[in-house]
């Protein structure tokens, strides 16, 4: 068989391909000779997650790579940072506090920063700080009061503050602060962290003047709370303070909601009254003297009182009997009228 005659064009292409392969091989040898393992490690190292509730390894958590602490400067003596600080906004808050975010989001939430600290002598007993920027003091008080623990003990660190066996909670201007320890027995360290944060909440833009409107007789001062929305299951009622009273041995809740105008208060009172009737309530005649337009409703075995005093909508919620509902209504209406609110 005759040998195949080589085409000059094919020969040229083969030489060109071979030359390219040689260049690639030479390039790889040069790159290997310059290999920097430190650079490779830095590029591929996985960031260690914060020992928080699992949000640190999520893109929602934004690690702050600044000084040892973005939340405290300086850090209380004898403590050290356990993990970098994290910040969360309204879109990412649920990554950190799953199940509780809605309370904050409905109360004016702006942002939250958190960080863990540790005592060198107890490296396994970390303490985590949460600082919520709620926009103003009223919003901060709302979330503070809505979550008051059953085992709360009054603290002197701030006007609105309390502590538990392993935590401290307080309002500082527009900031709501939680400091929670992994174990009990570190109250001194928790308090030191709290003192380092007091005074950083800025100027109060909206106060909680309604607290002074509640009559003191029978009042459980630790029960006063501010509800941002959907108060008593009625979506038309918001920005409402509640307080628990002991009326002759019966527990009764009073409420106060300041509106923009007296007309707005009257319209809201009418809407809430209609809501109660639509849900099974029925009007009951008063046995005491109350202002015109005041309503007393029996619903599911309890009593609701509704009345207005100027631009304030007020009343009684879920009284177990008619008599304590009427007694507290009279006391509350008198207090509001005398204070000219």
Task: State pLDDT tens for residues 46-94.
Answer: 333 333 333 334 434 443 333 335 588 788 888 899 989 999 999 999 9
Same domain, 188 and 67: yes
Is 56 inside any structural domain?
A: no
Number of folded domains that form the chain? 2
| Domain-embedded: residue 72 | yes
Model's pTM, two decimal places? 0.75
Instruction: Decide if 245 is inside a domain.
Output: yes
Judgement on whether residues 179 and 245 belong to the same structural domain of the protein: no
Asked if 179 and 213 sit in the same domain, the reply is no
Confirm whether 332 is domain-assigned: yes
237 and 294 in a single domain? The answer is yes
Residue 19 resides in a domain: no
Q: Is residue 69 situated within a structural domain? A: yes
Q: For residue range 281-322, list pLDDT tens digits in order.
A: 999 999 999 999 999 999 999 999 999 999 999 999 999 999
Give the CATH number, domain containing residue 295: 3.40.1000.20
Domain with 264 in it: 209-338
Same domain, 70 and 183: yes
Q: Domain check: are 320 and 257 in the same one?
A: yes
Same domain, 121 and 225: no
Asked if 90 and 157 sit in the same domain, the reply is yes
Structure token pair of residue 13? 């292409």
């Amino acid at each position: 068989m005759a040998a195949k005659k080589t085409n000059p064009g094919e020969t040229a292409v083969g030489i060109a391909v071979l030359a390219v392969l040689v260049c690639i091989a030479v390039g790889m040898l040069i790159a290997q000779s310059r290999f920097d393992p430190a650079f490779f490690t830095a590029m591929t190292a996985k960031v260690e997650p914060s020992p928080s509730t699992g949000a640190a390894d999520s893109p929602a958590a934004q690690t702050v790579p600044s000084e040892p602490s973005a939340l405290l400067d300086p850090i209380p003596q004898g403590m050290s940072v356990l993990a970098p600080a994290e910040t969360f906004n309204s879109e990412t808050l649920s990554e950190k506090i799953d199940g509780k975010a809605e309370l904050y989001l409905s109360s004016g939430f702006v942002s939250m920063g958190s960080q863990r600290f540790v005592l060198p002598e107890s490296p396994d007993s970390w303490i985590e700080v949460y600082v919520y920027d709620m926009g103003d003091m009223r919003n901060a008080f709302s979330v503070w009061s809505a979550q008051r623990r059953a085992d709360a003990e009054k603290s002197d660190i701030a006007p609105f503050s309390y502590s538990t066996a392993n935590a401290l909670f307080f309002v500082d201007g527009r900031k709501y602060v939680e400091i929670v320890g992994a174990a009990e027995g570190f109250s001194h360290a928790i308090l030191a962290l709290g003192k380092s944060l007091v005074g950083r909440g800025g100027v109060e833009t909206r106060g909680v003047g309604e607290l002074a409107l509640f009559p003191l007789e029978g009042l459980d001062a630790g029960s006063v709370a501010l509800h941002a929305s959907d108060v008593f299951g009625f979506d038309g009622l918001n920005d409402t303070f509640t307080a628990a009273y002991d009326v002759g041995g019966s527990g009764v809740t009073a409420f106060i909601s300041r509106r923009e105008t007296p007309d707005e208060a009257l319209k809201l009172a009418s809407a809430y009254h209609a809501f109660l009737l639509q849900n099974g309530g029925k009007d009951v005649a008063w046995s005491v003297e109350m202002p015109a337009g005041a309503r007393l409703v029996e619903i599911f075995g309890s009593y609701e009182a509704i009345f207005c005093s100027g631009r304030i909508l007020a009343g009684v919620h879920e009284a177990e009997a008619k008599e304590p509902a009427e007694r507290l209504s009279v006391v509350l209406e008198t207090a509001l009228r005398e204070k000219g609110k």
